[in-house]
Amino acid sequence: MSISRQALERMKEVIGGDKAVLAEILQSFIDEAEPLAESILSAARDGRLDTLGRAAHTIKSSARDFGDARLAALCADIELRSKQGSVSNAVACSQQIAQGCIALKEELAAYIGAEMNGEIP
């Protein structure tokens, strides 16, 4: 699982090329990554499919925005199965999503640092 620099460049273009605004958007996800990871794990452990589906949806949307297609697909699957009322391997899947969410957070933090230091053209 990993970010796509192309996706982040598209985001930057959409917001007018402002590195600081992009950094704020990415930082917002970074700040929410651990609570989101905990939410999806907790929901899976407790069998709360509605919460599991909402957490998966939120992570899916961010993962797509940041170009992490694998994490987005995993979240989309859990979101769909939560709506259908059947997630037989919810805990295992939520663990993968939580790990992906934290990895995404770390990659985004590194990207922000490189972007703000002028290391990314």
* Tens digit of each residue's pLDDT (9 = 90 or more) over 10-41: 999 999 999 889 999 999 999 999 999 999 99
> So what's the pLDDT on residue 120?
73
Instruction: Please name the amino acid found at residue 2.
Output: S
Domain boundaries, the chain: 5-116
pLDDT score of 57: 95
CATH class of the domain comprising 5-116: mainly alpha
pLDDT at residue number 118 = 76
pLDDT at 1: 56
Taking 50 as the pLDDT cut, the residues of the chain under it are none
What is the torsional sign of CA 93, 94, 99, 104?
A: positive
Pairwise CA distance, residues 24 & 52, whole Å: 26
